[in-house]
């Protein structure tokens, strides 16, 4: 069920959001314009992410993971919010968006100025010790790994590095085998990024908060996710079951397409900017359905 009025899907989406308190669910597709690769989508490279069982069960797997992460982290570290992130922050300040639930770990929503954010899968900029529970900044770990592995980045770049999602990278296995992993500086235990690995569950309090937000929202806006994993799809099913309008924005197909009230096959940056221009009083003059719509609609085809 995808109601399209005479203005097309963009206007149909705007009308579903207008006058409603909105909760937003975002995925990796919203961060691709910031240079961070996505697991899935039209331009995504094949990826085989590590599971929590592999990580915790094998010192060799942890060595390979940190060798790759030490290289891939650089892209996330310097990434900046794009126009999609900024548009959502403006919509929150304007009272349209109540909260953002993100499947991403890059913290770009917070960097853009969004304040009510549920980092469903955790955060890439923080490291936790699985033994003592101590936390440290990822930048601190970077300094430790650099000291333990002098010249590693230069050798890796000479051999070729392919960056992957979640601060991962693809490198030659022979290079990974020479990498030295840093232990917890407090207890010597196993360090792990403070985000949810594949095969790991979202912490119950965090999930409960997100479910409550979706339960109370007047509209659900889903942007930049294929909804392949249940952690995101559950919210769309919850909203659809309650009769809450669901506006879905994604370039490729999603598992929630049949549940969407309006489905836009488009990138997130331009579309979210169009939403902000149309829904915020201070910006509404910029949104002209006759002219400005053409640019936004081009991304929907």
| Cα 233 from Cα 272, distance rounded (Å) | 20
Which residue is catalytic, options 85, 109, 121, 180? 121
19 pLDDT more than 80 = yes
**Which segment of 32-46, 57-71, 168-182, 250-264 scores lowest on mean pLDDT?**
32-46
Q: What is the pTM of this model?
A: 0.86
Domain-located, residue 258: yes
Domain-located, residue 279: yes
**Which pLDDT score, from 0 to 100, does residue 284 have?**
57
Q: What share of the chain is helix, strand, coil (3-state, %, to 5)?
A: 45, 15, 40
160 confidence band (pLDDT: 50, 70, 90): confident
| Cα 287 from Cα 279, distance rounded (Å) | 9
- Average of per-residue pLDDT across 271-284: 89
- pLDDT tens by residue, 203-213: 999 999 999 99
- Average of per-residue pLDDT across 217-231: 95
Burial-class residue 52 by CB neighbours within 10 Å (0-12, 13-18, 19+): middle
Annotated binding site: 129, 132, 184, 187
Domain-located, residue 2: no
Element (H, E) at 261: none
Domain span at residue 147 reads 9-298
Residue 189: give its domain's CATH number: 3.40.50.1220
164 confidence band (pLDDT: 50, 70, 90): low
> Is 85 one of the annotated active-site residues of the chain?
no
- pLDDT tens by residue, 96-114: 999 999 999 999 999 999 9
14 pLDDT more than 80 = yes
196 pLDDT more than 90 = yes
**Which pLDDT score, from 0 to 100, does residue 47 have?**
55
Domain-located, residue 134: yes
Annotated binding site for Zn(2+): 129, 132, 184, 187
The Cβ of residue 181 has, within 10 Å, a number of other Cβ atoms equal to 18
Of 78, 77, 100, 75, nearest to 87 by C-alpha is: 100
Domain-located, residue 188: yes
Domain-located, residue 226: yes
Number of domains in the chain: 1
Domain-located, residue 142: yes
| Cα 140 from Cα 143, distance rounded (Å) | 5
Domain-located, residue 274: yes
Residue 43 main-chain phi, psi, to 5 deg:
-110, 15
């Amino acid at each position: 069920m995808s109601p399209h009025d005479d203005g097309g899907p963009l206007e149909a989406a705007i009308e579903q959001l207008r006058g409603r308190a909105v909760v937003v669910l975002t995925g990796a597709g919203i961060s691709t314009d910031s240079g961070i690769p996505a697991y899935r989508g039209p331009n995504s490279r094949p990826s085989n992410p590590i599971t929590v069982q592999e990580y915790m069960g094998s010192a060799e797997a942890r060595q390979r993971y940190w060798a790759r992460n030490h290289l891939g982290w650089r892209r996330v570290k310097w990434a900046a919010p794009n126009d999609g992130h900024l548009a959502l922050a403006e919509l929150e300040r304007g009272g349209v968006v109540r909260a953002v639930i993100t499947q991403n770990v890059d913290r770009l929503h917070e960097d853009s100025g969004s304040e009510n954010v549920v980092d469903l899968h955790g955060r890439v900029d923080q490291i936790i010790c699985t033994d003592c529970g101590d936390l440290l900044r990822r930048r601190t770990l970077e300094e430790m790994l650099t000291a333990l592995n002098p010249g590693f980045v230069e050798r890796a770049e000479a051999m070729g590095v392919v960056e992957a999602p979640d601060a991962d990278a693809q490198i030659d296995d022979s290079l990974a085998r020479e990498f030295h992993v840093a232990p917890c500086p407090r207890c010597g235990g196993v360090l792990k990024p403070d985000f949810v690995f594949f095969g790991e569950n979202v912490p119950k309090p965090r999930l409960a908060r997100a479910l409550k937000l979706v339960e109370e929202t007047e509209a659900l806006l889903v942007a930049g996710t294929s909804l392949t994993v249940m952690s995101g799809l559950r919210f769309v099913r919850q909203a659809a079951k309650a009769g809450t309008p669901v506006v879905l924005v994604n370039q490729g197909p999603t598992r929630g397409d049949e549940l969407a009230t309006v489905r836009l096959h488009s990138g997130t940056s331009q579309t979210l900017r169009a939403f902000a221009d149309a829904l915020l009083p201070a910006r509404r003059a910029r949104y002209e359905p006759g002219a400005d719509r053409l640019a936004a609609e081009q991304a929907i085809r």
